[in-house]
Structures are given as C-alpha cells and as structure tokens.
Amino acid sequence: MAKPSLLASLLSILAVLSVFPVDASAQLVLGQYEEEAPLRTWNLFGFQTAPSLGRGDTAFTVPGDGSAALANPALLLDLPRFTVTLNATSLFSSLHKFSIVNTGVLSTNANPSLGLNALDFGGLTYQFKGWALALTVALMEIYDRPSTRYEASYNKVLYYTLDFSQKGLLRNTNLSLARRLGRRLQIGVGLNLVRGELKTDLVETYQEDGITISDHKSQEFSGFYLNGGIIARFTDKWAAALVFRSPYTRKSPSKSQLEYAAAAGDTDIRITASSSDAYKQPLVIGAGVSYKFNSNFQLVSDLSFFNWSAYKIEYFGEAMERNFKDTLKWGLGAEYAVHLRIFKADGIVPLRIGAVYDSQPMKKPDSAYAYFSAGTGFHWKKIALDIGGSFGREKGSGNSLEARRISLSLCLEL
C-alpha cells in the first residue's frame, strides 16, 4: 500500500513541476541575443542533470538518471527498475546586446548578467521484462533577460523613466519507451510536448507631461517532436550511440500592443496586432562513444549536429532573417568511481571532469563557447546525490560572455 501513495506523491511533484515558476533574480542584460534566443546557448538538446553536466554534457552512452529519456531513451533500460529524479539548477549568464540594451538606446559599461535558480527537471522511470518507460518534465529553455530601468532627473525631479523586461520559458514533457533488442543492443523513442511563453514589455513615461509610451508583446509556444536513440555495446568496454531529435514547428500565437497615452491631450493611440506565427526548429542528430578502462574509470564523448541553417521563424506575420549556420557541439568527459563502505553498505563517490566546445549559429559574430566542467556525487544504497558545474566563456563576439551553471540532482531507486 505504501508504493501507490509514494507514487501518487511523486506524480504530484511532477504536476507541481510543470507549473513551477522560475525564480529569476535579474541583475542586468547583455548579448547578441535575439528575443527567442535561449539563455546561455542556442544548442540545447537533451537535458543535463548534474552527472552529465560534470562530465562535459555527455549523456548519449552513459545512463545517469531519468534525464536519459531526453538524451537517449535507449539508456532507460540501464537504470534500476523504478527511479525518480529531481534536478535543481542555478545558472548565470552574461549578455551584451539584447533588445534595446547596447543596441542604441541604453548602453552599459560592462556585460549585463542574469542569475536564475530553478527546479528544472523531474522524471519517473520504470522497466519491466526488457521494456522501459519514462515520464519526465523539464524546463528546457529560458528566455529571460536582465530587467532594466533608466531614470532621468532634472534639478532632482524625475522627469523620465524607461523600463524593459523580458521573461519566458519552454517546458518539455516527454513520454519515452525503450526496448532491449538482444544482449548488446537497446533502442528507445520519446514523444515530446513543448509548451512555453515569452513576454516583452517596454514602458517609457514622461512624468511632467503625463505621457506614457508602452510596447507589450507576448507569445505562447506549443509543439510536438520525437526524439530517440540506439545504443550498441560492442564489447564490455566499448559502447556507441546514435540519437536524434526530429525537426518540428513550434506554433506561436502572438499578440502585440503599442500605445501612446497622453491624458492631458485626451490622446490614446494604439496599434494592436495578433498573429499565428511559427518557429521551425532544426533537426538534431548526435553520436556518442564511451570506453571503460575498467569497472571504475571510463571516458565518454558526445558530438551533436544542429541543423540551424534550416531554422526559420515567422514573427508577427513576417518572415524574419536569422541566416544561421549549422553548428556542432562536442563534449568530452571522464568519470572515475571511488568505492567506499559506509554503515555496512557499499557507496560510490563518482569524480567527473569534462570539456565542451559549443559553436553558436549566428554567422556574425561567429562565436563559440568553451566550457570546463566538474562534478561529484554520493551514491549509497538506493540514493544517488550528484552535483555538477560548468564554467564557459564565449569567444568571437569580442564581448567575452560568460556562462556558469551548477546543478544538484537526486535520483532515488524505489
């Protein structure tokens, strides 16, 4: 009787997760960021919980936790029979140009930055007689920008204010199924539903004249896509995987209102627009390989190809030019397991390091992030607690953008 109630409570957590708000402690903004650009990097595929984050974003061949459903669902068969995974992340990104910041209206002396904390992944996995099933919810993309306020005073009297804010996110709900095909081959496929939103607000006030100029835009996102993967273990040491994410159209009903209000002149001028827009997301394919030197030490590498040249967006009825190039993301990681015996039970402390090269799709500036990562954890009995972090710096734009991320994940075997 205990299990159903535990399951019910875990499902409740998942349900809560799906509407969990992001805690955005904004500082300021920066970047070559288009409005729809995810914070940190365009190249988001799979989901990096603490174990894969510490290992250079590698997740195609190594089963870590329930996040395998998003990277390579075939790996779900390597997890314990019934698991639940939760992941929390703290991330920090610096940006240079975005919206009105450093593009002509407001300028900053240094890169603005944004810090965010979020409970960003929850998942359940279950396997039975060569089949595995997973249900996960992940906060895949964040579109927040540092909130910005500008004030102008004359003789200590405030006469002008300008406020800019942008908030947005994309949640991914995944249902995956995996099947063992013989002793060395596993295959998995996932159905994904994405939903999200993006809101941008720009408000100017001229205090003395009582004039307010406001520009509000909002978009909602929804779409379906498939992901899948296959893993082959050629020997006890070598494993290789192929993964994919199908291209898909993210539908986006969009609304906009531009308003000029001057009460003293009895003036209220509005231009409103609504549109059914679409973001054609690119195909992603990836390959991974791992080599186990022994039962304690392994090297892993993942390579992902993002077909950004096929990326197309329609924004308020207008085809926007992004003119992106295809990109590659390459991760390399190592993991060493230290065995311990605590309270008469075996425990493992994994030690992980990794590096990532992450080229960005914009042709101008041609830029890429280089990340270094590390992580560790404590696996004892049926509990796996992991922590991972990465530090990245961008080269190419001349702005030396930074991106840092720390994740804490908990995987319970039930």
Closest by Cα among 148, 50, 156, 25 to 377: 50
From 102-110, 180-188, 236-244, 284-292, give the range in contact with other proteins by CB under 8 A: 102-110
Write down the least CB distance from residue 203 to other proteins, Å.
11
| Residue with smaller CB distance to other proteins, 314 or 413 | 314
Residue in 12, 103, 153, 323 binding other proteins, rule: CB under 8 A: 103
Note whether 258 binds other proteins by CB under 8 A. Answer: yes
Q: Does 400 bind other proteins (CB under 8 A)?
A: no
- CB under 8 A: which stretch of 80-88, 231-239, 259-267, 329-337 binds other proteins? 259-267
Cβ-based nearer residue to other proteins, 21 or 104: 104
- Give 273 or 345: the residue with its C-beta nearer to other proteins: 273
Provide the minimum distance between the beta carbon of 210 and other proteins in the complex, in angstroms, as a whole number: 9
List all residues 6 or more positions away from 36 whose beta carbon is below 8 Å from its beta carbon: 143, 198, 279, 313
Compute the least distance from the CB of residue 146 to other proteins, in Å: 16
Q: Which amino acid is at 5?
A: S
Our CB check for other proteins shows the closer of 105 and 119 to be: 105
The DSSP letter of residue 33 is B
Neighbours of 390 (CB within 10 A): 26
Binding window for other proteins (CB under 8 A); candidates: 12-20, 228-236, 301-309, 316-324: 316-324
- Which amino acid is residue 396, in one-letter code? G
Q: State the minimum distance, in angstroms, from the CB of residue 163 to other proteins.
A: 13
Question: What gap in Å lies between CA 34 and CA 53, rounded to an integer?
Answer: 26
Q: Is 318 in the site for other proteins (CB under 8 A)?
A: yes
Distance between start and end Cα atoms, the chain:
14
Nearer to other proteins, 130 or 265 (CB): 265
Tokens 């390989």 found at: 289
Query: Which residue, 200 or 373, is less far from other proteins as judged by CB?
Result: 200
Question: Among 4, 21, 104, 182, which residue sits at the site for other proteins (rule: CB under 8 A)?
Answer: 104
Q: How far is the CB of 393 from other proteins (least distance, A)?
A: 21
- For other proteins, the closer CB: 20 or 316: 316
Residues 91/116, Cβ–Cβ less than 8 Å? yes
Per DSSP (E only), the strands in 318-365 are: 318-320, 327-342, 345-359
How far, in Å, CA of 56 to CA of 230, rounded?
21
User: What is the closest distance, in whole angstroms, from the C-beta atom of residue 208 to other proteins in the complex?
Assistant: 11
Least distance from C-beta 276 to other proteins, angstroms?
8
150 lies in the binding site for other proteins (CB under 8 A):
no
Nearer to other proteins, 257 or 307 (CB): 257
Among 105, 133, 185, 189, contact with other proteins (rule: CB under 8 A):
105
Distance, in Å, from the CA atom of 248 to the CA atom of 343, rounded to the nearest integer, reads: 50
Of 37-66, binders to other proteins (CB under 8 A) are none
Backbone angles phi, psi at 158, to 5 degrees: -70, 125
* Contacting residue, 317, 323, 342, 345, with other proteins by CB under 8 A: 317
- C-alpha of 219 from chain center: 19
Query: Tokens 């549109």 map to which residue?
Result: 275
Of 124, 121, 141, 140, residue with least CA distance to 175 = 124
Among 52, 67, 99, 165, binds other proteins (CB under 8 A): 99
> How far is the CA of 369 from the CAs of 192, 279, 320, in angstroms?
27, 24, 25
- 316 is an interface residue for other proteins by CB under 8 A: yes
Q: Which is nearer to other proteins, 82 or 206 (CB)?
A: 206
Which stretch of DSSP H or E encloses residue 54? Answer: helix 50-54
Binding map of other proteins across residues 200-219, x = CB under 8 A, - = no contact: --x-x-x--x-x-x-x-x--
**Which value, in Å, is the radius of gyration of the alpha carbons in the chain?**
23
Report the sign of the C-alpha dihedral through residues 41, 46, 49, 52, in that order: negative
Do 193 and 170 meet the contact criterion of CB atoms below 8 Å apart? no
- Among candidate residues 242, 235, 336, 333, the one with its CA nearest the CA of residue 288: 242
Positions that interact with other proteins (CB under 8 A) = 99-100, 102-105, 107, 202, 204, 206, 209, 211, 213, 215, 217, 256, 258, 260, 262, 264-265, 267, 269, 271-275, 316-318
